Structures are given as structure tokens and as C-alpha cells.
Structure 1
Amino acid sequence: MSNERMNNVIILHLLLLFVLTIVSQASHAHYSLGKEKVTHFHFFFRERPSGDHPTTVLVAKPKDTIMNASNPLPFGAVYVLDVPLTEGLDPNSKVVGQAQGLAVSVGQDKLMVAFMVDCGFTSGEFNGSSISAFSRNPILETNHREIAIVGGRGKFRMARGFAELHTVTATANVVVVEYNVTIFHYE
């Protein structure tokens, strides 16, 4: 066998060994995460955009933009949020967590936000865990819209899934959005 051919055989064997090592490690990583599980849960996002203690605050807006009731989210506006999550619709229902993140107005022709938020749970079965959403949120579609769940922590490590949103109340003082969440994660 020529030296060139021998080198090619060695290279092929090394590539095969490399591929088998990667596949073996990926397979082992899958099993070390545990069994994949589907979880469904429900909560309410209770936003206060105005008043003494707003939960959503404008932190940046486009130059020379006029903010008013007819244009509350002009293209390019950036809001930071820290919104309580409650287990029920009643304003006095138990707080089960906080949604913290950003909402950026990204629609030039239609009101649309890019929504980047981590929902951290502070009580109940999911205490200490969180889910993370990063998605378009067509907020004027009040009856039904969907956002992507792209990650999580704690019990929701490696989460992926979706949340179906329904706006229950939308006034200048309060916005309440119902979340029905379906996620795939590892136990």
C-alpha cells in the first residue's frame, strides 16, 4: 500500500473515531438530563404601565418621537418590565412569580413587540425555576396569540415550548394577560 493511500486510511479511521466519540457524548448527555417531560400550567401576567409603582417603564425611545395615547409604543421604543405573575384573575390572588425582561416595539406598520422575558416562579411546585420567552408578541391580537418558550432553569432546564396568551383586561392603568403554557423539559 502506498504512503498516500495509507495516510488516507488513517485519516478516515481518525474521522470515524471522532464522529463516534461525538455521537457517544451526545447520547450520554441526553441520558444524563433525565427523562423528557411535558408540563402544562396557567398563570396571569398583571402589568401596571402607570401609577405610583409601574411594572413596565420606558427606557428608550426614538429621537423626536411623540408618545401619546394613540401612539403608546412607537417603533423603536424599549420598555423594561418587572411584572407579577398571579395564580388567579382576582387582583388579590396569590403571586406565584415575576416576569422580568424587555419589550421592544418592532412593528413599523402594525403594533408588534419583540418580547424577551424570564418568568421566575417564587412559590408552589415550580418555586426556584423559570421559563424564558423570546418571541414576537402581536399585542393587539387580544383573543389569541402565541409566544415561544426557548429555555428555562431549575425544573425547566432545557425547556422549549409555547405559551398561548389571551388579554383579559387592557386599560391605561392595568393590563392582565392569561398565559396557558405547554413546555417540554427534562426532569
Structure 2
Amino acid sequence: MAPSPSLLLLLLLLLLFTAVATVSSDEPKEKMTHLHFYFHIYYGGPNATIVTAVSPPGNGTFGGIWVGNNILKEGPESSSMLIGRTYDLTVQASIENPSAYLYMLNFVFTTGEYNGSSISIVGNEVVGETMERTIVGGTGKFRMAWGYTVSRLISSTGTTEFLFRVSASTRVCSSATVDKYKAFFSMASSPSLPLLLLFLFAAVAIVSSDKPKEKMTHLHFYLHVYYGGPNATTVTVVSPPGNSTFGSIGVGNNILKEGPEPSSMLIGRTNDLTAQASIESPSYLYMLNFLFTAGEYNGSSIAIVGREVLGMNSERTIVGGTGMFRMARGYTVSTLISSSGTTQLFLVSEYDAYIYH
């Protein structure tokens, strides 16, 4: 016996909602929030919002570390409305450019719609250039957030006491629920069978299209580290407080190359902060930014956080990126393949980076 039209309609409606629910459940729906504000920094004097925590070990600024509690305002004027504060750590991690820094920031909003919410940011800055950095997370209304910031220095005044004003545009993707398929059911109060089929495929297509298309890029390269001597690319900026290495902190501007040989092609540099954070064995907490300077990904970067135990395979997390790797996620796998020298060490690690972007 053939099913009745009403039964067919019921079955198709059930199929429709099941398909939409299945596709919808694959990925949380997100919305994009655009914030625009100004970042005020006072360096030096009684009202300083940033201080030198670790002085550079040499004659330059390489290896210096600063801690900030800077000011977020609606406008560039000192009298403009306060909307939040930063909690930040800044590392001068470039040998060649004294104006290049590795940043770790937390923006905490204290007024308005986002009062009590925060975003966490990682990335590089070159003073005077327009810079893109990665939003790696957030709290409150920005819980589970990811995105990026674009900032530029718009004014700098003073001599021994500096006031910097930075314009920042922030784009944050955070969780939201959007039921776009509901619009289809306002088209007809008693849909026919062909129209229901149209609803089914259109609704599934629309919900499917919400999911951003991603690709996976696999990069293979070598990290060259020189420790000690005139060509050092990593320096100790905080010596361990005891007899072991536990508690030491290093800053690096290490070298990315196509191959393990020193003569192989340069493809980028790192800006990194390393802490020996294990009591029982030499194990390091790493915060790295890999900036590519040649080839297809010239100008792009990936930000990496994780642990390394020397001599073992280490997997670490890619928490973001810029340029062609904007909004990236993924992981790296690295292995130390050679170590030479005593007072002047030369280390080579092999890296595989799996980047979803």
C-alpha cells in the first residue's frame, strides 16, 4: 500500500530537521565582533604603565623583557573614556632589529557591553609598522574566541618619559547560534512535496556553508640555534636561582632553514621566549613565533606554545598565525638531530608543521 501524502510530508520534515541538526552539530556557529580602540602606553616617570623587568644582557636591547599594565581607551586623547587595561609581557627578540618585539597580551575590558570579558593575544610587533597579531582565546563574552588584531603606532611624545598611542582594530569570532533555515518555512504554509525537497536541500546547503573551508598545509624545515659566542641566536636573560637550570629564562632569534646544513637556504627567523620549567629534568616551556621571510609564505607567521624535552620528539600547539596563516590552528613535531660544541653550542632540530587555515 502506498504511503499517504501526509505521511510523506511528515517523513520529509523529519529528514529535514535531522539533516540540518546533523550538519549544525559538526561545528559551533560563530559570529564576528569588530572592536576599535586605542592603546596608551606610558614609559618612564611616576605614571609609567610599562617597566623593564629584565635588562638586556649585552650592549643592545636584544633579550630585554618588559611588563605592562597599559591603558585601553575609546580615543587617542588622554582624556578619552577608559574601557580597559592590558596585562602584557614584551620581549625584544630580534638581533637585527631593535624595534622588533614578541608580545603576549591580555586585554581586559572594564566598561560597556564587554565589561569583564577579555581576549588573549600573541605575536610580533615592529614599532612604526602596521602589525597583525593573533587572538588565541578569551573569557566572558569572548570565551573560546579566536581572531586577529591590526595595530599601528599613531603618535609618540616625550624624551625620557614616553607616551605611545596605538590604534587597534580587533576582529573576534566567538560562539553564537544562527538558525538561518527557519526563513524557508515562511515561504509557504502548506508546502508541496517538491517544495519540501527544495527546502531540504537548501537548508542543508545553507547550514553547511556556515562552516569555513579549511585546508591543511604541511611545512618541513630546520631550526638552527647558536648558543654562546659572538654569533649567538639565543641568550640567557635570567640565570637560575639555584644550582640547577630550573628557573632560567632565555630569549631567541633563531634561524629557520630549508636543510640541516648551515649553508642551506634561509627561510625565516624565530622570536621566542624559553623557560626551564622542570625540577626533575631539563624540560622547557616555549613561546615561539615563526616568521617566514622567503618563498610562498614570505611575511606570514605561526605562533606556537608548548613543552620541549631535549633529545625527545616534541609536539607543540600552533595557536594562531598571520598573513596566509591568519586564524590558523595545528601542531608541530620536532626532533633534535644534532648538537655540537661545549661553551658554544650549535643545535639543529627538524620540524614538521601541520597548519589548518
For residue 160 of structure 1, what is the aligned residue in structure 2?
329
What is the Cα deviation at residue 20 of structure 1?
Answer: 11
The one-character-per-residue Cα deviations of 1:10-37 (angstroms, maximum 9, x if unpaired) are: xxxxxxxxx9983239xxxxx7995211
> What is the identity, as a one-letter code, of the residue corresponding to 1:24?
V
- The equivalent position to 1:150 in structure 2, one of 296, 315, 319, is 319
- Asked whether the 8 Å contact 1:60–1:77 carries over to 2, the reply is yes
Q: RMSD value over aligned CA atoms?
A: 2.6
Q: SS at the partner of 2:254?
A: strand
Q: Which runs of 5+ in 2 are unaligned?
A: 1-28, 32-175, 180-208
User: TM-score, length-normalised on structure 1?
Assistant: 0.75
For residue 169 of structure 1, what is the aligned residue in structure 2?
338
> What is the identity, as a one-letter code, of the residue corresponding to 1:180?
D
- Cα distance in structure 2, aligned partners of 1:91 and 1:23: 52
For residue 42 of structure 1, what is the aligned residue in structure 2?
220
- Cα distance in structure 1, aligned partners of 2:225 and 2:30: 51
- Cα distance in structure 2, aligned partners of 1:118 and 1:86: 15
Q: Which runs of 5+ in 1 are unaligned?
A: 1-18, 26-30
- Cα distance in structure 1, aligned partners of 2:221 and 2:228: 22
For residue 84 of structure 1, what is the aligned residue in structure 2?
255
The one-character-per-residue Cα deviations of 1:109-147 (angstroms, maximum 9, x if unpaired) are: 011100000000001011010011110111231xx2211
What is the Cα deviation at residue 159 of structure 1?
Answer: 1.3
Confirm whether residue 24 of structure 1 aligns to residue 178 of structure 2. yes
For residue 280 of structure 2, what is the aligned residue in structure 1?
109
Flag the structure with larger Rg.
2
> What is the identity, as a one-letter code, of the residue corresponding to 1:99?
T
- Asked whether the 8 Å contact 2:311–2:335 carries over to 1, the reply is no
For residue 289 of structure 2, what is the aligned residue in structure 1?
118
For residue 309 of structure 2, what is the aligned residue in structure 1?
138
- Asked whether the 8 Å contact 1:111–1:140 carries over to 2, the reply is no
For residue 232 of structure 2, what is the aligned residue in structure 1?
54
User: TM-score, length-normalised on structure 2?
Assistant: 0.40
Task: State, as a whole percentage, how many aligned pairs show the same letter.
Answer: 33
